[in-house]
Amino acid sequence: MPASRGKFITFEGIDGAGKSTHVATVVDLLRARGLDVVSTREPGGTPLGEKLREWLLREAMHPETEALLMFAARREHLAQIIEPALARGAWVVCDRFSDATYAYQGGGRGLDKAKCLSLEDWVHGRLQPDLTFLFDLPPALACARIAKEGRELDKFEQERADFHARVRQAYLERAASAPHRIRVVKAGRDIEDVKKIVEETLVTHCLSKN
Ligand code: TMP
């Protein structure tokens, strides 16, 4: 008998919202329940995708080139990693997916939403995450968190505050249009409180039905 399809969980938010810490929490929680979990990220997740990531995070390019490369990396990621994992019954936990293209290229760079929509339709048709955590934080706070880390900033992190404000706004609009799968988590509170909310949401939304 074929395995039942695994679940697809994604993490989103402006740079500095703190999502990566919670990716690890969710992966540990699912593995502790004996589930087969694939933890991956975008752009990236495959050898080709990681090469594209290097360009995307460093090189200046036309907004449409940026969107096309994001979706090219995504197509490869779906074919090599995400679709086979879900088909064998594994759970896929992905740090960013197409909501990020709507937010960054659509909101941040002003790319026509209809173009994002047609690329999304082409690349992953009806496949959408089962659950998306959107970590929401005012850009000024996110920026202060990144500055504290004292590391070299990538191309997106170097953008001005108004870019990050537009990315945040586009994420919130996307969440409002898909409330059945996108959960907005206020990321400014204490990390232990955020962790608790993430765990409870995961259990109610995905694990209670297993
Ligand atoms: P991160 O792995 O630290 O989150 O960085 C990835 C960066 O790439 C982040 O600034 C958001 C950006 N990005 C886009 O602009 N569009 C996309 O579709 C994706 C997946 C990421």
Name 128's Cβ contacts closer than 8 Å, sequence gap at least 6.
Answer: 8, 178, 181
pLDDT of 16 higher than 80: yes
- What is the identity of the amino acid at 124? H
Alpha-carbon gap, residue 58 to 55, rounded angstroms: 5
Query: What tens digit of pLDDT does each residue of 18-66 get?
Result: 999 999 999 999 999 999 999 999 999 999 999 999 999 999 999 999 9
Asked if residue 22 lies in contact with residue 93, where contact means CB atoms within 8 angstroms, the answer is no
DSSP conformation letters of 47-109? HHHHHHHHHHHH----HHHHHHHHHHHHHHHIIIIIHHHHHTT-EEEEE--HHHIIIIIIIIT
Query: What tens digit of pLDDT does each residue of 153-200 get?
Result: 999 999 999 999 999 999 999 999 999 999 999 999 999 999 999 999
pLDDT of 2 higher than 80: no
Q: What is the pTM assigned to this prediction? A: 0.97
| Ligand 1 probe mutation, 156, 159, 164, most atoms within 8 A of CB | 156
> What would the mean pLDDT of 89-117 be, rounded to a whole number?
98
* Shortest-distance atom of ligand 1 to CA 155: 10
> Measured in angstroms, how far is the CA atom of residue 115 from the centroid of ligand 1?
18
